Structure 1
Amino acid sequence: MTVHATPRLLVSVALALAAALFLAHLADASPAPASAGTARLAELAGDVRAADGHRYDARDDTGRTMDAAQITQSPDGTYLAVYHTLLADGRFHAAVATSADLRHWHRRHDFGPGTHQASLAADGRGGYVLAYEKDPRNHIAVRAYPGEAALFAGRAAHAFDAPRTLSRCAEGTPSISAVRGDTIELTGHYRADCGTDRQLRATLTAFRDWHAVPDRRLDRALRAWGNSGNLGDRAPVELDGQRMLFVEGQRWRGDFGSWRSYAYDPVSGRADRIDISTHGGSRAFANPSATLLTDPRGRPSLLVSVFIPAEGAAPAEAGQLVYWRKL
């Protein structure tokens, strides 16, 4: 017997199929934590009001905003921050600053116009590797410094400006994942089809050989939370022996108030959303990073650094937020 489909039946089937596809798309955004590590990061980073110390609208001693600050600690205990500021020349300038208390920062060097989204990592030999996005022709630039004196003077021993191989328009927001001898592992973004930022992984060997590939697995994990806009900055963090990424996702492209933060587990390929509670109730958070360090009172702590866009900020909370919690 032949059954002829009615218009109502066709509509029902189409709706059922759409619902099934939607549920499948959201399958990775499970209420269960992606891992014990991501759950721990969400617990520590989720409530600024419970922090052992914090500073909203962080600025250096010259009054420059410390946007997208990424913070680490030198062997002598001094805190180092790399960050950028939009100056009167209409361009971003990346800089490095030092601090003894995580609240007051002394700028040591400006890396020049057209440098932004900086990431700093120790090279294991007493020196540092710095990566940042550089314009014009937005691309990832990597510099090596033999020690802090060279870093503060801007005297790089090695320099590499990466070719754009995934996008003809922009590749940037680098984050250094690891330095292993003469190989540097990085993450970043590329402007897919010159429209929307997507994630990449890259390696630089001997400051000569560059290889970048899309990180579609991370893209899928962030899109599972409904992020149809840019998928941008991220930073590695390790808690209780578990390595993960602290990463941002934008729900709607062009809406700076829709930036949210996530903890991504590379083993399961899933991400947990981190709902950050501030004193005033800010709701948008971008450029996340987290670092294990010793706090100003000598205690092992997790430091979190996020940028609060004006579009999603509570009064007096816009700008760079730095806070830390004792482990």
Structure 2
Amino acid sequence: MDGHRAPMGRRNALGAGAGALAAALAAGCARTDGAGGAGGPAAVTRPPGTAPTTTASGTPGPTATVTPSPAASRAAAPAPRGFPGLPFRIAHGPRDRPRVALTFDGRGDPDLARAALARCEQAGAHVTVLAVGAWLADHPGLARRILDGGHEIGNHTEHHLDLASLDERAAYEEIAACARRLRRLTGSIGTWFRPSPTTYASPLLQRLAQRAGYPHVLGCDVESLDHAATRVAAVTRKVAGELRNGSVVELSLGRPVTVDALPLLLAEIGRRGLRAVTATELLGRPAADVTRTAR
């Protein structure tokens, strides 16, 4: 299951109806060009006196021993339960079950994020939100909102920087800082980690994620490219053209075009006889086994 891969009016796309969906699907599955956008990776300044080590992309550099701080070590324990027998990086679930996982990068407009969650819930869908720590710091109530809706929450780094451009110490801290924030807000660091700004994790990033307490990196096999899209049709045809049993779909939580596209995407999932579940459920663990704090 291994494989490789930031935020328009609020009109509800339900008004478009089945005609818009049919037109979107008929257009094929052409990809939307572009990446990054307004929410792309930010510039990184190394703290004074900090020498570069190995970069998170795996580029050789001067050797260094990284010792996590006591706080970071506490955030990493206890580790979430993994899925024995599966690779560290998971890109999709079983192909013989009619289930898919909608996974969202948690950042952007908080009102749009709430609207996206509500639309998923109206369709009976449970989703996985990989949240940016700084976004949760600005909107701390969203962590509980996600869990209270029957969804699950995971780690998408603290500031959504380009981890591959950071040295080992800084990359680890991006993962560990978000883990600490998740633990403070929810009582758990979450089961899943997804790197930023891409779902690909180099061998070094895999080791850093494991050190922070994550048994798996959550990739995807369907990229919506909604971070660069301005039209609902571009998102719907991209996802609908690649969706199949076991798919893990990458979406953005706080983007207008995504919120507008969700009713059509959820209707298409239902039309195909698929069920949208959390990544944990997709991999075979029942919802009741997902770690959540007591209400």
Scaled to the shorter chain, the TM-score interval is under 0.3
Q: If each structure's helix is expressed as a fraction of its own residues, which one has the higher value?
A: 2
The TM-score normalised by the length of structure 1 is 0.25
Q: If each structure's strand is expressed as a fraction of its own residues, which one has the higher value?
A: 1
The structure, 1 or 2, with the larger RCO (C-alpha pairs under 8 Å, 6+ apart) is: 2
